[in-house]
Amino acid sequence: MRIVILGIGNVATVLGRMIREAEHEIVQVWGRSETGARNLADGLSAGYTTNLQSIDKGADLYLVAVSDSAIPAVADVLRLDRKLVVHTAGSVSKTVLKPCSSNYGVLYPLQSLRKEIPVLPVIPFLVDGNTGDDTALLMDFAKTLSADVQVAGDEDRLKLHVAAVIVSNFTNHLYVLAEDYCKEAGVNFKLLLPLINAIAGRLDQFSPSRLQTGPAIRNDGQTIESHLALLSDHPGLKEMYRLFTKSIQERHP
Amino acid sequence: MRIVILGIGNVATVLGRMIREAEHEIVQVWGRSETGARNLADGLSAGYTTNLQSIDKGADLYLVAVSDSAIPAVADVLRLDRKLVVHTAGSVSKTVLKPCSSNYGVLYPLQSLRKEIPVLPVIPFLVDGNTGDDTALLMDFAKTLSADVQVAGDEDRLKLHVAAVIVSNFTNHLYVLAEDYCKEAGVNFKLLLPLINAIAGRLDQFSPSRLQTGPAIRNDGQTIESHLALLSDHPGLKEMYRLFTKSIQERHP
């Protein structure tokens, strides 16, 4: 397919690489920053523009991969008649693109995409179109990028996005807090990496509710107290420790 | 080496398998439950006893792999003269074993061990002995089990245990909460597994503080509000969402 990518951030860059890898043609990249647009376009062997009025009208698919809050501004200007235009956001309704075209939808990558990581990740895609034909076309297109493609409407996509925020952004924040703590305490955070990977890696075999371990679920008050005492100079982390201990004990009475 | 294992739980079982794999001899297993002790002993080609007074006195190393709170009761009874006795707990001082022998220490596996997972995990070991010779012996022994062995005293081990609780028990609890939510919301938790593994897997290349993404760090109030609205029937998860959003924004001002 012939594709125009609007956006130059992490999602635009990583999806752009995957789309090239799958041997589609990227005809144009649009970005507000000329340097950013040119750099991404060069990497994808595409043309570029910084002007939404100059978007190539001859492509098959328009991928609006800008930040959630920037989508409405793009949708205000972009006029594509009957061309298929999709955004990539988990928590934004597909109808935001209604002004752009009679054919619109969503191609949502359920993954954390970072352009500085060169290896292309495994991405489950959730697709949705405003007509059955558009959904089918998006399904076929997404299958050229990934083995795991599902149809999901606005509501299910939003629910999965909330769950994704919990298991990725919040989890990563726990890693940040632990790394900060290790630095201050003078111990080596890297020693925790095998543990971190084990906890994540075994979920394909077992439900996490069967795998809960630690002082909270054991009701091991002595260990909990010694941990809280150690965290007395880290009030934020201490509050987090208390909340998790309470939440784990409530979940596993 | 000739080893006696005291305990029949996850740590005793998984370390027992690794010790056998490394071609040491397990001479005896002790457990309070006869069935439990016999089952584990059979799997490790060892003898067993349920009586602490009947512990074989001819081994080189005694591994007290019982729950933290059960260590003192074992230490009260176990008398081994000059034999090396160690426990496996992150948050318990090695001196709890002082009554047992003039030679005592710790062999702490910095990993979440579950006997139902047959694949032996990568385990960084933290070792500590009350004499230099004991520490050196534990170091040599642990190196037969793992490529990653470090000396760490009570204080550093406790600090790493706190950090381990944060990145494993708390992280797993986030997975539990997300799975509970997905079930209630009628969406498929398994779709999140590639994301979960990506977040954990990239920490060997990047500090987590460089990898934080999501609505909180973007200050994306609209998405945060739509997520909180969706969680209105899940008060515990909503409180968690608010706390993480605040904590992420404080950490990345």
Handedness of CA B245, B247, B248, B253 (dihedral sign): positive
Which amino acid makes up residue B41? A
Predicted pLDDT of residue A35: 97
Residue of B nearest to A120 (CA): B198
Cross-chain Cβ contact A179/B209 below 8 Å:
yes
Distance CA A79, CA A166 (A): 36
What is the enclosing helix (H) or strand (E) of A25?
strand A25-30
The stretches of B88-234 forming alpha helices (DSSP H) are 132-143, 154-164, 171-185, 193-201, 221-230
Strands of the sheet containing A25-30, edge to edge, are A47-49, A25-30, A2-6, A61-64, A81-87, A101-109, A125-129, A149-151
Distance CA B178, CA B54 (A): 48
Query: For residues A244, A247, A249 and A251, what is the CA-based torsion angle, rounded to 10 degrees?
Result: -140
d(CA A57, nearest CA chain B) in Å: 31
Predicted pLDDT of residue B172: 97
Cβ pair A119, B203 in contact under 8 A: no
Task: Tell which B residues from 31 to 60 touch A, by Cβ distance under 8 Å.
Answer: none
Cross-chain Cβ contact A200/B197 below 8 Å:
yes
CB-based burial of residue A135 (10 Å sphere; 0-12 exposed, 13-18 middle, 19+ buried)?
A: middle
Distance CA B67, CA B72 (A): 10
Show residues of chain A in contact with B235, CB under 8 Å. none
Cross-chain Cβ contact A114/B159 below 8 Å:
no
Cross-chain Cβ contact A187/B159 below 8 Å:
yes
Distance CA A184, CA A234 (A): 10
Dig out the tokens for B161 from the structure: 């245990």
Beta carbons within 10 angstroms of residue B253's beta carbon: 4
- In whole angstroms, how far apart are CA B242 and each of A19, B42, B68? 36, 50, 34
Closest residue by Cα to residue A19 from A199, A106, A126, A142: A142
Predicted pLDDT of residue B59: 97
CB of A131 within 8 Å of a chain B CB? The answer is: no
What is the enclosing helix (H) or strand (E) of B238?
helix B235-251
Predicted pLDDT of residue A142: 98
Cross-chain Cβ contact A156/B186 below 8 Å:
yes
What is the enclosing helix (H) or strand (E) of B30?
strand B25-30
Average of per-residue pLDDT across B214-243 = 93
Average of per-residue pLDDT across B98-116 = 95
Cα–Cα–Cα angle for B234, B240, B242, rounded to 5 degrees? 100
* Percent of chain B whose pLDDT exceeds 90: 93
| Cβ-nearest to A176 among B110, B160, B251 | B251
Question: Would you call A195 helix, strand, or coil by DSSP?
Answer: helix
State the number of CA atoms in the 13 A half-sphere of B124 facing the CB. Answer: 21
pLDDT digit string, tens, across residues A154-172: 999 999 999 999 999 999 9
d(CA A247, nearest CA chain B) in Å: 8
CB of A241 within 8 Å of a chain B CB? The answer is: yes
CB of A226 within 8 Å of a chain B CB? The answer is: yes
Cα–Cα–Cα angle for B235, B240, B243, rounded to 5 degrees? 125
Query: For residues A240, A241, A243 and A244, what is the CA-based torsion angle, rounded to 10 degrees?
Result: 110
- Enter the ipTM: 0.94
Distance CA B106, CA B134 (A): 10
Predicted pLDDT of residue B112: 92
State the number of CA atoms in the 13 A half-sphere of B92 facing the CB. Answer: 28
Task: Tell which B residues from 145 to 204 touch A, by Cβ distance under 8 Å.
Answer: 148, 150, 152, 156, 158-182, 185-204
Cβ pair A216, A188 in contact under 8 A: no
Cross-chain Cβ contact B170/A244 below 8 Å:
yes
CB of B73 within 8 Å of a chain A CB? The answer is: no
Rg of the Cα atoms in chain B: 22
Predicted pLDDT of residue A88: 98
Cross-chain Cβ contact A167/B199 below 8 Å:
yes
**Mean pLDDT, chain B, whole residue set:** 96
pLDDT digit string, tens, across residues B76-100: 999 998 999 999 999 999 999 999 9
Q: How confident is the model at residue B44 (pLDDT cuts 50, 70, 90)?
A: very high
In this structure, the strands spanning A149-151 and B101-109 are unpaired
Dig out the tokens for B92 from the structure: 């318990």
Beta bridge partners of B30: B6, B49
Question: Would you call B9 helix, strand, or coil by DSSP?
Answer: coil
Tell me which residues of chain A have a pLDDT lower than 50: none
Q: How confident is the model at residue B16 (pLDDT cuts 50, 70, 90)?
A: very high
CB of A91 within 8 Å of a chain B CB? The answer is: yes
Cross-chain Cβ contact B68/A227 below 8 Å:
no
d(CA B83, nearest CA chain A) in Å: 28
Distance CA A67, CA B220 (A): 9
Q: Name the one residue in this structure whose structure tokens are 């955070």.
A: A189
